Amino acid sequence: MTRPDSLPHSVIKAVLRATQSVATPFWLYETEPMRERVQQLEKFDVIRFAQKANSNIHVLSIFREMGVLVDAVSLGEIERALRAGYTPGTLDQEIVFTADIIDESTLIRVIELGIPVNCGSLDMLMQLGQIANNHPVWLRLNPGFGHGHSHKTNTGGPFSKHGIWHENIADALRLVDKYGLNLIGLHMHIGSGADYTHLRQVCGSMLEAVKQLDRPISSISAGGGLPVPSRPGEPEIEIEEYYAAWNETRIEIERIIGDKICLEIEPGRFLTGNAGLLVAEIRAIKKIGDNYFVLLDTGFNELARPILYGSYHEIVFLKRSGVLVTGPLKSIAVAGPLCESGDVFTQNDGGIVRFRELPMPQVGDLAIIRDVGGYGATMSSNYNSRPLAPEILLDDGKLTIIRQRQSIEQLLDLEVRGKAF
């Protein structure tokens, strides 16, 4: 798949059609890029979607129909996977629960459903083992290093809370034996948006971890973190090269263990990131000094990635007639409506506002924020008491609302129905 440098005409038409029925802001997802991403990874034995990137039940159902399995990181995500049609407790592990802690209600549910647990802490192994002998488990290991597109998305190394530290593998195995747990696999994930060099290093760390085992396993997971392009001309990761590196590692592990190994990959934003748009309306334009602020009817209550990570998202302006805004370039920052100075879509990782050279739109034009299909709607909030925006699916030219806009009444209902205890 190659990310198009400009929005396809079919997508622009879909955006305009959607605005005739749904008020802004709203999310729009294309199914075609998702399917193309899945096809890119088809050489891996298992593609396990990290649904925290986009957990809409309809999106999960599309992946399930393509044979993609699912990872869950909370009780809510387990229930979403079930609602999307995934079957728990199967031999091919359609659902795996991954976390660094497990609360009581989730613990009861994974045992009830027979869902394998990917344990990121020694305490998880102990808490699970105390009430569920022979339960299937993975070990999520921290290899001692990490990398991501932001220091906040780094999930490995001594400054990350994630995973069992690589020097504690023996302690983990003792707990597995003490409680009779069924160890089926090892998992490593070093960060979201990691570069190829760091991703490649995980292969060696996985091999070293396997050498410390005194027992066979059936699976290894390369984790996720595959980067996706977000700027015109930005290169794609070489999937063939990445798979070849992991396949070599798998073959060596099979030699050590003396049995076949299932090779999993756990993409999240890689599958959905380029497939999503956030569509908003321009409500005000301000001239501040020599710069301009274009203010939208959506903010970090919808898209939090810029304020959290300084993530870059291309923004284009569209006339209601369907013509992209063109003309002389001005120094423009694009921001939202929230009562927060940090509610700016064009900022860097340190929170410094960045002005982009963009053509000047008019109030009433549309702003389309690209590449937001991963960690967009799933990270939304009700900040400033703003209802959650609707989600729309574009599949084979047909538009379907797959999440209704939350109403203010729904937002308030949990509070007005409180009761004393």
Give the orientation angle of helix 169-178 with respect to helix 122-129, to 10 degrees.
0
Q: Does residue 344 contact residue 292 with C-beta atoms inside 8 Å?
A: no
Strand partners, 93: none
Give the single-character DSSP code of 323. Answer: P
Put residue 301 in one of left, alpha, beta given phi > 0 → left and psi -120 to 50 → alpha.
Answer: alpha
The token pair that represents 337 in the structure block: 């409506």
Verify whether residue 339 is a known catalytic residue: yes
DSSP per residue, 38-84: HHHTTTSSEEEEEGGG---HHHHHHHHHTT-EEEESSHHHHHHHHHT
Cα separations in angstroms, 368 against 11, 146, 300, 313: 11, 33, 15, 10
In this structure, is the dihedral angle defined by the CA atoms of residues 81, 114, 163 and 202, taken in order, positive or negative? negative
CA angle 241, 1, 389 (to 5 degrees): 125
Pairwise CA distance, residues 408 & 385, whole Å: 8
Pairwise CA distance, residues 261 & 259, whole Å: 7
Q: What are phi and psi of 40, to 5 degrees?
A: -65, -25
Pairwise CA distance, residues 54 & 227, whole Å: 16
Marked catalytic residue, from 119, 203, 262, 339? 339
Cα separations in angstroms, 240 against 96, 200, 244: 26, 12, 6
Put residue 402 in one of left, alpha, beta given phi > 0 → left and psi -120 to 50 → alpha.
Answer: alpha
Cα separations in angstroms, 45 against 75, 170, 227: 26, 28, 20
For the annotated catalytic residues, the residue numbers are: 339
